[in-house]
């Protein structure tokens, strides 16, 4: 059992704290937001993440997990301090490090024994050195400490599973011994642990996210070409994925990537490249294609409905992806706003993000079910591929709609089946198939 302090009770901090406690360590999660800590102490979980509430509760009950707003309390017995505070996008896509700076200063002022300080927040390359400088500068007396970078690779919606079953753990430090000690904490996860230097570890995080985002933009560009040429991008991705060098993951064409990570991290990497005189042309294209995907839905709808003014458009799903209520950089936000600007009446249904959406999108009407959204709608658009949308009574939906347009932004339905039900169906990258018999006549 080790004593661990986690700074930041946000998404990454809570999952990290809860999971390390579940592995048998004693953990204190600190946040400067008093209302958040009060809520957590009452047993309320401020974010929607499958499985998190159970792990938190289990470990609070067994007294392995505590919450605090006091740095003195949180650092008193800690051997390891994880920094897991937010790094939002600042101007020009640059990561805003004010919370990391505050955390480093506070550690420096309060620490009274040696500490291993592990940075989990996604920070520009070189931040680990900068954190070390801040701590040195603000310490009242020189107490040894070691900085380790430990980038986080978990996904929202499957964060607990991802933490407990990582593909790898990356640790970067100028002090091998400190990295080894952090590696020991991760041994129960039985995974590959890569120990490298600080800056390389920081870059591994950006390069991984940018690469995954690139795959998505790549397949979305292929989707656009498929549409023009009469090929089906879903099948194309399957065929590509069989190649072991390519693999099947992150090849789902759709409305592009959103969330708090990919857009922000690709922009931050682009910014880092620019200020260091590199020419990030691929990263720019990745972002450009991603913006195009969102715009394209509105263009398609306008064409399919013969204009958008006073049309009723229903959106299925609002969160940036299924199994989360997170609306940050969600395609739904841009799409709903544009539809509203063009005079359409927008109504939407999302299984969990309704409340958050109501604040961000005050002009759209939120419904209690898909069937309510479908009633009298001229068009329906799948924005987020929640599992429940795959098992709908599509016949009933078709009957209740005023129009027939079904725009499947996540390719969850079979085009022929939907056409058979009377929908005017359009997916992403699923061109009208011109097989040889259509072109050359039946061979039989």
Tokens 């709608």 locate to 377
Closest separation in Å from C-beta 141 to ligand UGA = 36
Closest CA to 15 of 132, 152, 150, 141: 152
Using an 8 Å Cβ cutoff, are 348 and 373 in contact?
Answer: yes
112-141: contacts with ligand UGA (CB under 6 A): 122
193-222: contacts with ligand UGA (CB under 6 A): 209, 212, 216
140-169: contacts with ligand UGA (CB under 6 A): 152-156
Q: Nearest 5°: phi and psi at 346?
A: -110, 130
The nearer residue to ligand UGA, 6 or 115, going by C-beta atoms, is: 6
The nearer residue to ligand UGA, 166 or 415, going by C-beta atoms, is: 166
Please indicate whether residue 226 is annotated as part of the active site: no
The nearer residue to ligand UGA, 40 or 261, going by C-beta atoms, is: 261
Task: Give CA–CA dist 225/288, Å, rounded.
Answer: 16
Applying CB under 6 A, does 227 fall inside the site for ligand UGA? no
Tokens 């011109």 locate to 434
The nearer residue to ligand UGA, 36 or 120, going by C-beta atoms, is: 120
Binding-site size for ligand UGA (CB under 6 A) equals: 21
Beta-strand ranges (E) seen in 223-356 are 312-316, 345-349
* Catalytic residue from among 5, 19, 29, 261: 261
- Concatenated DSSP letters for 364-376? SEE-SSHHHHHTT
**Of 38-46, 245-253, 300-308, 372-380: span binding ligand UGA (CB under 6 A):** 245-253
Interface characters, 260-279, with ligand UGA (x: CB under 6 A): -xx-----------------
**Of 184-192, 238-246, 252-260, 278-286: span binding ligand UGA (CB under 6 A):** 252-260
303-362: contacts with ligand UGA (CB under 6 A): 320-321
Long-range pairs of 134-141 with CB within 8 A, sequence gap ≥ 24: 134/101, 134/104, 134/105, 134/108, 135/104, 135/107, 135/108, 136/108, 137/108, 138/104, 138/105, 138/108, 138/109, 139/108, 139/109, 139/111, 140/109
| Residue from the set 8, 254, 409, 429 that interacts with ligand UGA by CB under 6 A | 254
Residue 75, sorted as left (phi over 0), alpha (psi -120 to 50) or beta, turns out to be alpha
**Of 35-43, 175-183, 258-266, 367-375: span binding ligand UGA (CB under 6 A):** 258-266
Task: Give CA–CA dist 412/229, Å, rounded.
Answer: 21
Q: Which residues of this protein are in contact with ligand UGA, per CB under 6 A?
A: 122, 152-156, 209, 212, 216, 250-252, 254, 256-259, 261-262, 320-321
Active site residues: 261
């Amino acid at each position: 059992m080790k004593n661990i302090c986690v700074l930041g009770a946000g998404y990454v901090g809570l999952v990290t704290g809860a999971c390390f406690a579940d592995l048998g360590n004693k953990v204190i999660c600190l946040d400067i937001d008093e209302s958040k800590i009060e809520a957590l102490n009452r047993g309320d979980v401020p974010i929607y993440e499958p499985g998190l509430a159970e792990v938190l509760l289990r470990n609070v009950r067994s007294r392995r997990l505590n919450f605090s707003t006091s740095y003195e309390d949180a650092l008193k017995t800690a051997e390891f301090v994880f920094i897991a505070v937010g790094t939002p996008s600042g101007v020009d896509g640059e990561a805003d490090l004010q919370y990391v700076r505050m955390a480093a200063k506070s550690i420096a002022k309060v620490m009274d024994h040696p500490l291993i300080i592990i940075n989990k927040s996604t920070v520009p390359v070189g931040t680990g050195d900068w954190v070390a400088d801040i701590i040195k500068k603000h310490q009242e007396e020189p107490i040894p400490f070691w900085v380790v970078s430990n980038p986080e690779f978990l996904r929202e919606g499957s964060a607990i599973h991802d933490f407990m079953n990582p593909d790898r753990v990356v640790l970067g430090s100028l002090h091998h011994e400190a990295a080894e000690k952090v590696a020991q904490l991760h041994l129960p996860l039985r995974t590959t642990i890569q120990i490298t230097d600080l800056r390389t570890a920081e870059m591994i995080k950006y390069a991984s996210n940018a690469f995954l985002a690139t795959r998505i933009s790549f397949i979305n560009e292929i989707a656009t070409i498929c549409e023009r040429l009469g090929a089906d991008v879903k099948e194309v991705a399957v065929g590509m994925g069989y190649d072991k060098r390519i693999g099947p993951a992150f090849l789902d064409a759709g409305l592009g990537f959103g969330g708090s990570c990919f857009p922000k991290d690709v922009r931050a990497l682009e910014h880092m490249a620019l200020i260091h005189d590199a020419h990030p042309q691929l990263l720019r294209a990745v972002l450009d294609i991603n913006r195009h995907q969102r715009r394209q839905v509105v263009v398609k709808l306008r064409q399919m409905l013969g204009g958008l003014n006073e049309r009723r458009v229903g959106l299925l799903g609002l969160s940036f992806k299924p199994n989360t209520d997170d609306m940050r950089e969600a395609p739904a936000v841009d799409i709903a706003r544009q539809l509203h600007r063009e005079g359409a009446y927008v109504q939407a249904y999302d299984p969990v993000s309704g409340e958050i959406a109501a604040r961000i999108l005050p002009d759209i009407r939120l419904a209690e079910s898909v069937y309510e959204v479908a009633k009298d709608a001229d068009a329906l658009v799948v924005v987020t591929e929640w599992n429940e949308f795959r098992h709908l009574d599509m016949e009933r939906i078709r009957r209740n709609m005023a129009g027939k347009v079904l725009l499947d932004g996540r390719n969850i339905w079979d085009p022929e089946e939907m056409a058979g039900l009377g929908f005017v169906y359009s997916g992403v990258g699923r061109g009208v198939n011109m097989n040889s018999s259509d072109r050359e006549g039946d061979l039989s």
